[in-house]
Every structure is written in C-alpha cells, then in structure tokens.
Amino acid sequence: MIKVSHLYKSFNSQAILKDVSFEVKEGEIIAILGQSGAGKSVLLKHLIGLLFPDQGSIEIDSRDIAKFSEQDWLLLRKKMGYLFQDGALYDFMTIFENTAFPLKEHTQLNKKEIGEKVRNTLSLVGLEGVEQKYPSQLSGGMQKRAALARAVILNSKILLCDEPTSGLDPVRSRDITDVILNISRHFNTTTVITSHDMKNSFRIADRLIIMKDGSLVAQGTREEIESTDNDFVKEFLN
Amino acid sequence: MKKRIFLKHFFQSIVAGVAGLGNALYFLGNVLGQILRGKIRFSEVIKQIHEQGMQSVVVIALTSIASGVVLTLQGYVMLDRFGAKEKVAALVALSLVRELSPVFSALIFSGKAGARLTAELGAMNVNNQIVATKVMGVDPIEFLVVPRMLACFLVLPILVVMSEIIGIAGGYLVGVFEANIPGSFYISQTLQSIDYVDFFSGFIKTFFFAFLIGWTCCYQGFVTKGGSLGVGRYTTKAVALAYILVVVSNTILTKIILTFWG
Ligand SMILES: Nc1ncnc2c1ncn2[C@@H]1O[C@H](COP(=O)(O)OP(=O)(O)O)[C@@H](O)[C@H]1O
Ligand SMILES: [Mg+2]
C-alpha cells in the first residue's frame, strides 16, 4: 500500500531524513517510534504530499507520487485521513460541522444522509451529545476523537496519525489508542502512527519502526523489536 | 569590519524584502486565479461581509460624526475670517467626500477588520487548520482567503459612503444649532457643492485601499508562524503595513486623480 525507498530530506542543508526505507501492507497498522525531533512528523508529511523528498521515492497504491498532478493529490487525499497532533479542527465550526465538512465538500449526500453519517462516525469514536459544541469547549482528548472522525468520514483507505497520544494523560492515551484501533478495523484502513509512547504503540501496531536522528534503526514485530540487540533500541525500550 | 557587517545585513534584508514581495504576489495570483475561475463561496462572502462590517462600523461612525463636528466648528471660524462663512457646508462636504472619509475609514478598517483577518488566519495557520484544509482535499485559498478578500473589497466602500453621510450629518448639527445656519440652506449648499467628480475621486480610492488591506492582511495571516507569539507579531506587522500602504498609495492616487480630474 505504501512503499518508501531510500528517502532523504534536508532543511537548510541540515539532513532530517537519511536513507529511510520501509513498506506498509494493506490493512496493516504501523507505529513509527522515536524521540522528539527524530523526524517522525517530517516523514509522515511526505506520505500526504505536504513535503517532497530530496532523494528517494514514495509509492502509494503502487503509484510513484513524484508523478502526481495536483488532481491526483486531490483524489488521493479524499482516500486518506490525517490526524494532526492537536486535532486541527476548525475553531469556527461546531463538532458536527467539522465532521460533516469532508462530506459536504466531496460527496453529493443530502442533509439527512450527512447527519446520519456524522452521528454514526462520531459514535464510533465515542463522541455523543457534543455535536453542537465548539472545539474549544471540549477537552484535548475529545478534540482528537472528533478530528479522527473527520479524518475517516470519507471511508479513508489510509489513516496517518501524528502523535495521537501526546499531551494526554495515560488513561486518555489508552482510550484514543483503542479508538484508533477500532476505527482502523472498522474502515479496514492502512494505518501509520507516529509516537514516542511505546506502551500504546506496542498494544496496537502490527509492526514497529524505530527512528533515531532521521534514520531507521530497527523495524519488525513487537517480538522482533524486543529481542533486538541494538543498543539504542534497548535504551529506548527502557 | 563593522561596515561589512552592516552591508551584509543591508543586502540580506533587501533580498528578504524582494523574496517576500515575490511570495505575496504569488499568493495574490492564486487568489485572483480562484476568483477568475468562479470559485467563490457566496455564503462565506456574506458571512465575512457581516463580520468585517459589524466590527468596524461603530468606530467609523463615531470618528465620522466627530470629524464632521470638528470640521464645521473650525471651518466656520476660519471661513469667517475671509468673510465666507456661508461656505462652511461646502467645505465640510468636500473635505469629507474627497479625502477624509475614504482615508480615515481605511485606516480604521485596517486596525479593526484587517487585524482580525491576520489574527484569524494566523491562528488557523499555527493550529494547522490551514494545512488540514489542504490535506482534506480543499484549497485553503479558495475556502479561507477568497471570501475574506472579496468581503474586504465590498465592505470598505459601503462603510466609506456611510461615513460620508454621518460626517455631513455631524456638520449639519453644528451648522444649524451652533452657527444658526438655516437647515434647508445647509442641505442645499451641501448638495450643490458635491459634484460627481468630487464623490468619485474619493470613492475610487476606497477600492484601492480595500484591495491593499485585504491582500496585506490575508497574506500575513497565511504565512504566520511561531505559535501565539507569532500571531501577535504578524498581526501588528500586517496592520502597520496596511497603514503605510494606505497613506502612501493615497498620496500617489490623489496626485494621479487630480492630474486627470483636477
Ligand atoms: N519545515 C521545516 N523547516 C525546517 N526544519 C524543520 C521543518 N520541519 C521540521 N524541521 C526539523 O526537522 C527535525 C525533525 O522534526 P519532526 O519531524 O517534527 O520531529 P518529530 O520526530 O518530533 O516529529 C527537527 O529538528 C525540526 O526542527
Ligand atoms: Mg512530531
């Protein structure tokens, strides 16, 4: 579904991503783990065309994104959901309007159908009875849930989540991780999550990728990662 | 040594300035491109007109009536020295319509609606709402910028006409109740003195001002970075730029208009 090969990226001649290669299969949940500043967000932004590689290639659905036109991106983005670290909900819209936004923009559904779909998706993420509230009236965790609902409401095939648990206490971190797992299963999305939260990543990811200073230092299943003898990974795990 | 460092900074800021202008022009090109392709969300435009208008209307009205009153009080004294006090209605009307209302309305509009534009877009920017728009397959310029700039362009001229009427009404109050000029005489003097040329020489300028304010303030909001501090910095910068653009363009426009229409 997603294939990244030998990706390099620098900002102002400072190398941020160095020779990054990995694959994500359809329906898989992948967690990219690494300390703050490792380049996780930069990597994720490459997968949705907010940043472009200096070198290397990215294939999505077996198509090279270097050859994408604006129109191709538009079509692809309708099939992708991106959960921003802080949700990035429109603060001038209610939760209902926020969640309905992609449907209004990209589908021909009528008012009633939109209402139904919004309520269904909001209940999937465990948000009920807050449709008429504004984002600022909700807690950070609830905002992230609403943002998640908005990200997948077009039946996204690919879901990218940037640090979904950052800024949340352990209980809410666990909750939002479970919600992401549910959503991924429900919509059968291919999911990439960045995080420095090991516990929750281990719980839901099929495979994990460990990053350090822009390079991948290990990737594999939980068991493979736990049994590695790479010093950095061992240290990171403790 | 010091001189070299100074020169280096000097050239760096020139390069940055040129690059900034280039980016701002590119941004403007995008906005105009969307408008020309008819990508206009009318309901958003209406919403923006309402918000921007409501925000500036009270301060502009207050300033207008105060200016009308002061102009009449002062004008009456000055004209009396030349034995032309019956011309005060004309002096007030012409000053307001040709110059004062367009300029001070534009300045107030920069400080109220313009600041709001930058702060709003800037806050959306630092909270990733603008990138999120793009990621959802919607053009942020079309959705967020075009309605704001169009609303600017439509609201300011309306506010200016309102300001002119209120300013003249302020003058009328002083003229009639303070200087004991008969009301009907004051009104007929006002109407006789204002020619089409007078009205339009001021009115045309408001479209330039609205365009410059909308462009500057939306652009600065669109490139805001640096968290909530950044929002404050870019907003002040946008308002200062808008002020300068209004004042400078007014000088140039006045000269051009007087050359053709004097
Ligand atoms: N647009 C940018 N311009 C310059 N530097 C950037 C940009 N985005 C990220 N960086 C730098 O890249 C590095 C990695 O950032 P990021 O991917 O956000 O880390 P994280 O792993 O915490 O998500 C940081 O040092 C950051 O300063
Ligand atoms: Mg990050």
Alpha-carbon distance of A159 to A82, in angstroms, equals 6
Does the beta-carbon distance from A77 to B137 stay under 8 Å?
yes
- What pLDDT score does A228 carry? 81
CATH number at residue A64: 3.40.50.300
Helical (H) or strand (E) element with B172 = helix B146-177
Residue among B120, B128, B135, B231 with most chain A CBs within 10 A, to mutate? B135
Does the beta-carbon distance from A85 to B134 stay under 8 Å?
no
Strand A215-220 versus strand A2-11 pairing type = unpaired
Is a pLDDT exceeding 90 seen at residue B20? no
Residue A231, domain member (yes or no): yes
Give the total number of structural domains in chain A: 1
- What pLDDT score does A125 carry? 93
Tell me how far the alpha carbon of residue A67 lies from the centroid of ligand 2, in angstroms.
Answer: 27
Residue B185, domain member (yes or no): yes
Does the beta-carbon distance from B128 to A101 stay under 8 Å?
no
- What pLDDT score does A233 carry? 79
Residues B151-173 have a mean pLDDT of: 96
Identify whether the C-beta of residue A83 lies closer than 8 Å to the C-beta of residue A147: yes
pTM: 0.90
Is a pLDDT exceeding 70 seen at residue A36? yes
Which residues, including other chains, have CB under 8 Å from residue A77's CB and lie 6 or more apart? A48, A49, B134, B135, B136, B137
Residue A26, domain member (yes or no): yes
- What pLDDT score does B16 carry? 84
Is a pLDDT exceeding 90 seen at residue A71? no
Contacts of A93 in chain B (CB under 8 A): none
Residue B14, domain member (yes or no): no
Alpha-carbon distance of B42 to B37, in angstroms, equals 14
Range(s) of the domain holding residue B149: 39-260
Does the beta-carbon distance from B128 to A86 stay under 8 Å?
yes
Residue B197, domain member (yes or no): yes
| Model confidence pLDDT, tens digit, residues A128-166 | 899 999 999 999 999 999 999 999 999 999 999 999 998
Residue of B nearest to A45 (CA): B135
Ligand with smallest separation from the Cα of A163:
2
Please identify, by atom number, the ligand 1 atom nearest to the C-alpha of residue A36: 22
Which residues, including other chains, have CB under 8 Å from residue B99's CB and lie 6 or more apart? B202, B254
- What pLDDT score does B120 carry? 96
From its phi and psi, is residue A158 left (phi > 0), alpha (psi between -120 and 50) or beta?
beta
Residue nearest to atom 26 of ligand 1 (CA): A37
Residue A138, domain member (yes or no): no
Residue of A nearest to B143 (CA): A105
pLDDT confidence bin for B1, thresholds 50/70/90: low
Mutational test site, ligand 1, from A14, A17, A40, A42, max ligand atoms within 8 Å of CB: A42
What does the buried/exposed string (b/e) look like for A88-113 if buried means 16 or more CB atoms within 10 Å of the residue's CB? Answer: bbbbeebbbbbbbbbbeebeeeeeee
Residue A126, domain member (yes or no): no
Mean pLDDT of chain B: 93
Ligand with smallest separation from the Cα of A12:
1
Give the total number of structural domains in chain B: 1
Residues B187-209 have a mean pLDDT of: 92
Reduce the DSSP state of residue A31 to 3 states and report it: strand
Helical (H) or strand (E) element with A14 = strand A14-24
Q: Which residues line ligand 1 (CB under 6 A)?
A: A 11, 16, 34, 36-42
| Model confidence pLDDT, tens digit, residues B213-251 | 999 999 999 999 999 999 999 999 999 999 999 999 999
Chain A to chain B Cβ contacts (< 8 Å): 41
Contacts of B131 in chain A (CB under 8 A): 50, 84, 88
Please identify, by atom number, the ligand 1 atom nearest to the C-alpha of residue A45: 17
Is a pLDDT exceeding 70 seen at residue A208? yes
- What pLDDT score does A225 carry? 86
Residue B10, domain member (yes or no): no
Where do we find the tokens 């009270």? B58
Residues B29-33 have a mean pLDDT of: 95
Residue B88, domain member (yes or no): yes
Identify whether the C-beta of residue B129 lies closer than 8 Å to the C-beta of residue A89: yes
Tell me how far the alpha carbon of residue A187 lies from the centroid of ligand 2, in angstroms.
Answer: 25
Query: Rounded to a whole number, what is the distance in Å from the CA of B81 to chain A's nearest CA?
Result: 57
The pair of three-digit structure tokens given for residue B105, joined into one six-digit string: 């309305």
Range(s) of the domain holding residue A35: 1-79+198-238
Tell me how far the alpha carbon of residue B170 lies from the centroid of ligand 2, in angstroms.
Answer: 58
Residue A118, domain member (yes or no): no
| Model confidence pLDDT, tens digit, residues B80-120 | 899 888 889 999 999 999 999 999 999 999 999 999 999 99
Of A50, A89, A106, the CB nearest to B131: A50
Global ipTM:
0.91
Residues B135-144 have a mean pLDDT of: 94
Alpha-carbon distance of B133 to A102, in angstroms, equals 9
**Range in A48-62, A199-213, A224-238 with the lowest mean pLDDT:** A224-238
Mutational test site, ligand 1, from A7, A16, A86, A215, max ligand atoms within 8 Å of CB: A16
Please identify, by atom number, the ligand 1 atom nearest to the C-alpha of residue A51: 1
- What pLDDT score does B238 carry? 97
Mean pLDDT of chain A: 92
Alpha-carbon distance of A82 to B135, in angstroms, equals 7
